[in-house]
Amino acid sequence: MNSYTAKQIAEILQQDDPRMNLRTVRYYTQIGMVPPLELMGNKRVYTEHHIHYFRAIMTLSRTGETLASIQETLKELSLEDIEKISQQLALYEPSRIIENETLKITDDVIITISPRISAELKQRVIDSVSQALKGEDQ
């Protein structure tokens, strides 16, 4: 597993969000938003797992969650779930959100659809999701 310094982590994360800097990385580490650093030899280092945590934090913050709420959420999730959230970061790029159409199906289900799909396909997607939800209620 690769190991990283705080500065290297900040540089990696700045590719996803220019606001992520060394100070933010250290702050999130200090307040326990990410797991404790790993020991490699006599050094404490960040690993790929930490990158997933940072990206999950960035993803959830883009949805409007507070840091306190994100911290509580991350405590309850498995590493696999955190990796899944971190992989969704690109979906929350401001430019993508603006160009896509977001539809609320229920209080718990919201879908985002690209404007490039036809009105017919869009309706079929909405109908399919609605039908699946009805089947779940039974």
Q: What pLDDT, on the 0 to 100 scale, is given for residue 98? A: 55
Percent of the residues in the chain that have a pLDDT greater than 90, as a whole number: 55
Q: What percent of the chain has pLDDT over 70?
A: 91
Closest of 21, 78, 76 to residue 54, by C-alpha: 21
Q: Each residue of 112-123: pLDDT tens digit?
A: 787 788 889 989
**Would you say residue 81 has pLDDT above 90?**
yes
Instruction: With cut-offs at 50, 70 and 90, classify the pLDDT of residue 28.
Output: very high
What pLDDT is attached to residue 53? Answer: 97
Mean pLDDT of all residues belonging to the chain: 88
Q: Is the pLDDT of residue 75 over 90?
A: yes
Torsions phi, psi of 59, nearest 5? -65, -50
Q: Mind listing the pLDDT tens digit for each residue in 41-62? A: 889 999 999 999 999 999 998 8
The CATH topology of domain 6-93 is Multidrug-efflux Transporter Regulator; Chain: A; Domain 2 (1.10.1660)
Domain ranges of the chain: 6-93, 100-137
Mean pLDDT of the region 3-21: 93
